[in-house]
Structure 1
Amino acid sequence: MVGGNSMAGSNLSQKLSDRRRKIDLVDRELLPLLNQRLRIALGCGKIKKEMGKNIYDPQREAEVLKRLRMKNRGPLKEEDLEKIFRAIIRVCRRSQK
């Protein structure tokens, strides 16, 4: 073991396992929310088609990103927040076609 005894290493391994379990729980909570968002976006896409509107609405996407930036209190960096939500929006938009 590098830099410590096996007891300390075991304690660190347990802490890492605990944190990974917490990440797994968060991921399990995120997945249904992402699917819910997509279902809602699909409904928006149908309405846009009925209205004769384009699927891509850059003004709406800019508003969504601006609102998220204003709500973000970190530690997620603004640029990473945008990358994540641009990817989510892109998937939703692509699914609306």
Structure 2
Amino acid sequence: MEISDWRQKIDGLDEQIVRLINQRAEAARAIGELKQKAGLPVYEPKREQDVFDHVSRVNQGPLSDTEIVDVYQRIIDVMRGLQKQNPK
């Protein structure tokens, strides 16, 4: 494959990733609404660690577990911010 072929493949993968991240955001927003109604905190360090452990377990590379967790730390940070917003 040529560079342009790989870039086209990456574009298609990015489209899938964006759809999945937005689906995750919908779920995070719903959880945020439930937390708000129940008076629960948005920040749950144990749950976040569970997510990091899970993604490390299912990681097959080529990214290291540390790199995958780095990516997920940012995703979770954004999702946490979404949960803090007023429900729509």
- Moved segments of 4+, more than 2 Å: none
Q: TM-score, normalised by structure 1?
A: 0.84
The residue aligned with 1:66 is 53
1:33 aligns with 2:56: no
| In 1: Cα distance, 2:7 partner to 2:36 partner | 43
Q: What is the total number of aligned residue pairs between the two structures?
A: 84
Secondary structure of the 2:62 match is coil
Give the Cα separation in 2 of the matches to 1:63 and 1:96: 18
For the aligned residue pairs, the C-alpha RMSD in angstroms reads 0.9
- The TM-score normalised by the length of structure 2 is 0.92
What is the match of residue 81 of structure 1? 68
Equivalent pairs: percent with the same residue? 36
- Which structure has the greater CA radius of gyration? 1
Equivalent residue for 1:45? 32
Residue segments in structure 2 that go unaligned for 5+ positions in a row? none
Task: State the Cα distance separating 1:77 from its structure 2 match.
Answer: 1.1
- 1:28-82 Cα offsets, whole Å, 9 max, x none, are 1110110110011000000011111100000000001101101101111111101
Question: Distance between the aligned counterparts of 2:37 and 2:77, measured in 1?
Answer: 21
